[in-house]
Amino acid sequence: MTTDVFKSARQTPIPTNGGFLAAAQIPTVVQDALASIPFIDIHTHLFTPGFGKLSLWGIDELLTYHYLEAEFFRSSRMTLEHYWTLSKTEQADAIWRALFIENSPISEATRGVIAVLHAFGLPTDQTALSEARNFFRAQTLEAHIPRVLEMAGISTVVMTNDPLDPEEAPLWLNGVQNDKQFHAVLRLDRILNTWPDHWQALAAQGYAVDAKASGKSVAEVRRFLSDWAKRMQPVYMACSLPDTFEFPSDTLNCLLLREAVLPACRESNLPLSLMIGVRKQVNPRLRLAGDAVGKANLRSVEALCRDFPSNRFLVSVLSRENQHELCVFARKFNNLMPFGCWWFMNNTSIVEEITRERLEMLGTSFIPQHSDARVLEQVIYKWANTRRTLAPILAENYRLLSEDGRGVTAADIQRDVTRLFRSNAESWMDLRPRS
């Protein structure tokens, strides 16, 4: 299954009779469980080949990932304005030179590119990218996707699909082919966060809505959501929300959430994913890399979970300062599922902190991570990092459990890792292959 990072650590034979593990055996059993269980990646920006150029892959896309663009401008004298005039290949060359040749690629995102090149047996220290480009050029996406998912140790990918995206929406309206490993999500940012800029797109699809969302607008948004739920067969509906998000409040966002989105989720029996705490475009000159983070008031989550008990909320928060609160609210509301270490949280030191407190406060009743991959091969390093980071944390929890007086078996560990990375998601969303 995944690259054999851990197999060499096997020392003492593991009891096969379901016997309790000795403390020294626990780390290997945890590593093997993490390595052998295929994970479900519940949030990505990946697409199947049917979405054409929306599906990003290969070395130039890996290098021009917005995480690396943000780092590039800290290590290059190139102006942003000049950078945006370059071709994708020229941009990738500039980023490779500045972050991988002229400096050591020790950041999480640069190390990721190195790990991907290494996983394919490609050189990681050459000035030119020709060998890597030739390699990726020789791949066919149809064969490359399952191979990459296998290398990453994931069986299932959940996409992010925007029914108002001018490039993506027509593909769905013309009927895009399903893929058994990819599932859709109905993403609602344009409706909930930027209605004034996007209500016309709904009107253009034949829904009687207006700028103030007055009259039939709310009912028409509900009809829009139910039509797209039938078309996309999403596994959940989702929206990222700013750090200033307040619920309840007298805003259009809250009106649409309360009167259209939450009822539509109940009607289609879909969870709603809320990703809270982004400060959009604090530096628009950086484009996709221009977003930042802010501490949110999570009492909005408290109100939503309390006031809408028959809705289920998948929640990820962007601010480090909000992580503990989210854990506490999850102890209060079982219609709340914390998931992932989102975006600026997806760094080993912070993933360790968040995962430790979640295990201590929630046991295995949360979803530890998602990749948020925008480029296909990113799943290889993002999931290798997750397995590498979580192994010692899980092993330590089992060591403490056996020290406290309860023996641990290999089957316990297999069950728990399966719950964290598969069955929690499977119990919250319908991940059966779409026909």
Mention every residue, 6+ apart, whose C-beta is less than 8 A from residue 399: 23, 26
Q: Is the dihedral of CA 89, 137, 99, 289 positive or negative?
A: positive
Binding status of residue 288 toward ligand FIX by CB under 6 A: yes
> What is the closest distance, in whole angstroms, from the C-beta atom of residue 122 to ligand FIX in the complex?
24
Binding status of residue 161 toward ligand FIX by CB under 6 A: no
From the list Zn ion, ligand FIX, none, partner contacted by residue 240 (C-beta under 5 to 8 A by kind): ligand FIX
Binding status of residue 41 toward ligand FIX by CB under 6 A: no
| Residue 92 or 278 with smaller CB distance to ligand FIX | 278
Q: Distance between CA atoms of 231 and 225, rounded to whole angstroms?
A: 10
Helices within 213-363 (DSSP H only): 217-232, 252-256, 262-267, 299-307, 323-332, 348-362
For residue 212, count CB atoms less than 10 angstroms from its CB and return exposed for 0-12, middle for 13-18, buried for 19 or more: exposed
| Residue 45 or 258 with smaller CB distance to Zn ion | 45
Mention every residue, 6+ apart, whose C-beta is less than 8 A from residue 165: 190
| Residue 31 or 319 with smaller CB distance to Zn ion | 319
Closest C-alpha among 429, 367, 44 to residue 237: 429
Binding status of residue 374 toward ligand FIX by CB under 6 A: yes
> What is the closest distance, in whole angstroms, from the C-beta atom of residue 374 to Zn ion in the complex?
8
From the list ligand FIX, Zn ion, none, partner contacted by residue 176 (C-beta under 5 to 8 A by kind): none
Residue by residue, what is the 3-state secondary structure of 79-115? Answer: CHHHHCCCCHHHHHHHHHHHHHHCCCCCCHHHHHHHH
Q: Which of 42, 192, 275, 391 binds ligand FIX (CB under 6 A)?
A: 275
Closest C-alpha among 91, 45, 46, 97 to residue 69: 91
> What is the closest distance, in whole angstroms, from the C-beta atom of residue 66 to ligand FIX in the complex?
6
Q: Which of 28, 240, 311, 389 binds ligand FIX (CB under 6 A)?
A: 240
Binding status of residue 282 toward ligand FIX by CB under 6 A: no
From the list Zn ion, ligand FIX, none, partner contacted by residue 172 (C-beta under 5 to 8 A by kind): none
CB 41 within 8 A of CB 157: yes
- The site string for Zn ion over 323-362 (x = CB under 5 A, - otherwise) reads ----------------------------------------
Q: Distance between CA atoms of 24 and 375, rounded to whole angstroms?
A: 38
Q: Is the dihedral of CA 219, 163, 237, 229 positive or negative?
A: positive
Q: Which residue is nearest to Zn ion (CB)?
A: 372
- Reading the block at residue 402, the tokens are 């056996």
Binding status of residue 190 toward ligand FIX by CB under 6 A: no
| Residue 2 or 273 with smaller CB distance to Zn ion | 273
> What is the closest distance, in whole angstroms, from the C-beta atom of residue 160 to Zn ion in the complex?
6
What values do phi and psi take at 242, rounded to 5? -70, 165
Q: Which of 343, 353, 361, 393 binds ligand FIX (CB under 6 A)?
A: 343
Q: What Å distances lie between residue 39 and 74, 147, 345, CA to CA?
A: 35, 15, 20
Q: Which of 71, 372, 377, 416 binds Zn ion (CB under 5 A)?
A: 372
Contacts with ligand FIX by CB under 6 A lie at: 160, 240, 275, 288, 343, 372, 374
Q: Give the footprint of Zn ion on this chain (CB under 5 A).
A: 372
